């Protein structure tokens, strides 16, 4: 067990000591949305789960694209907040002499809007807003080390304003001899805008996210534990705002432990049988950002289940984003192989 901890530290330490990228407002924020019901149930972000039958996993880490995912079709749908919905579809193929490939498309539909003048007068017209990211994935392996990359052309359209972008994900994954432990390192959304929303506009940053994760399957129990460190390229994710006696507000820097927890996403899977899985997760950063003052309720917690029936795989998750409501995630995967 001690060797496994050393291995995880070896993956994480180079990222922790790297210079952090100071934040700001990003464009193409939809790239960070969780569309997999399995990942959504495990806190919203996991990069080290090594399951060769789940085509959802390469979305978070392209190194997790396996040969056995060939001829699998995946469709995800997320009922987000208000009238916003988004989803993901993917298909995988494998070639012995080259490696593993997958194509996918990730979209978000913001719905229809009533057009109005700058004075708030309705014009009688409506317009739509949506964003799309196309995924071209590749992976291969050398012994127990897996590596992969995803190229993501991006189209963002808001009324008559459009922007094109290009991003890439790079990931590696390493498993223990018994395959009970898997560690991973991923850099997501490397790239930027190619064209801005209007002429001569300043190009905006996209949400770069460097992550490190570990998953551990217990030897004598049907349980898989997962932990993921996200946004390692930006260490300070939040400050605590307090009010003093003069009714002035000031920012107090959080403790080291709370800063670490803001980067941590925790998940657990319990497998009562080979065809049924129960999941739960906790995202501390989401809870701190979206809770209502000191009343958090179940914000930041998530849960779900997975069910396999012959060639079909169905996953469901519910994730609490705010006291005002939660989000439901659905995933359906179909194995098109004759020898499934």
Superfamily, domain 45-112+126-335: Outer membrane protein transport protein (OMPP1/FadL/TodX) (2.40.160.60)
Residue in the structure block whose two tokens are 């319990």: 270
pLDDT in tens, 93-114: 999 889 999 999 999 999 888 8
Res 68 pLDDT > 60: yes
Beta bridge partners of 86: 78, 108
In the predicted model, is pLDDT for residue 60 greater than 80?
A: yes
Element (H, E) at 12: helix 2-16
Q: What is the pLDDT of residue 252?
A: 58
Cβ contacts of residue 223 below 8 Å, gap of 6+? 217, 268, 269, 270, 271
> Where exactly are the structural domains of the chain?
45-112+126-335
The string of pLDDT tens digits covering residues 126-170 is: 888 999 999 999 999 999 999 999 999 999 999 889 999 999 999
- Decide: 318 and 42 in contact? Cβ < 8 Å: no
Q: Is 243 exposed, middle or buried (0-12, 13-18, 19+ CB in 10 A)?
A: exposed
Q: What are the DSSP E strand ranges found in 232-324?
A: 239-243, 249-253, 264-273, 276-283, 301-309, 312-322
- The pLDDT tens digits of the residues spanning 278-320 come to 999 999 988 887 776 665 577 889 999 999 999 999 999 998 8
């Amino acid at each position: 067990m001690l060797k496994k901890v050393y291995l995880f530290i070896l993956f994480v330490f180079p990222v922790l000591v790297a210079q952090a990228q100071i934040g700001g407002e990003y464009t193409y924020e939809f790239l960070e949305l969780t569309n997999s019901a399995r990942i959504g149930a495990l806190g919203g972000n996991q990069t080290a789960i090594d399951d060769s039958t789940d085509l959802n996993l390469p979305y978070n880490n392209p190194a997790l694209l396996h040969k056995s995912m060939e001829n699998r079709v995946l469709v995800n749908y997320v009922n987000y907040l208000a009238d916003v919905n988004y989803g993901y579809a993917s298909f995988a193929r494998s070639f012995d002499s080259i490696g593993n490939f997958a194509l996918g498309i990730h979209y978000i539909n913001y719905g229809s809007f009533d057009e109005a003048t700058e004075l708030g007068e309705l014009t009688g017209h409506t317009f739509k807003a949506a964003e799309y990211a196309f995924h071209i994935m590749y992976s291969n392996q050398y012994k127990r080390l897996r590596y992969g990359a995803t190229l993501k052309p991006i189209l963002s359209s808001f009324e008559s304003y459009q922007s094109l972008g290009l991003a890439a994900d790079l990931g590696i994954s390493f498993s223990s001899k018994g395959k009970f432990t898997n560690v991973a390192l991923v850099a997501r959304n490397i790239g930027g805008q190619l064209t801005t929303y209007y002429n001569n506009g300043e190009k905006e940053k996209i949400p770069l996210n460097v992550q490190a994760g570990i998953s551990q399957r217990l030897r004598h129990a049907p349980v898989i534990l997962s932990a993921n460190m996200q946004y390692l390229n930006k260490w300070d994710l939040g400050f605590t705002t307090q009010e003093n006696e003069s009714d002035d507000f000031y920012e107090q820097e959080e403790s080291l432990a709370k800063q670490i927890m803001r980067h941590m996403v925790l998940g657990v899977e319990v497998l009562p049988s080979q065809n049924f899985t129960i999941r739960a997760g906790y995202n501390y950063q989401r809870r701190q950002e979206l809770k209502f003052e000191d009343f958090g309720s179940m914000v930041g917690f998530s849960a779900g289940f997975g069910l396999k029936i012959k060639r079909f795989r169905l996953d469901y998750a519910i994730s609490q984003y705010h006291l005002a409501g939660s989000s439901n995630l659905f995933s359906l995967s179909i194995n098109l192989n004759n020898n499934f």
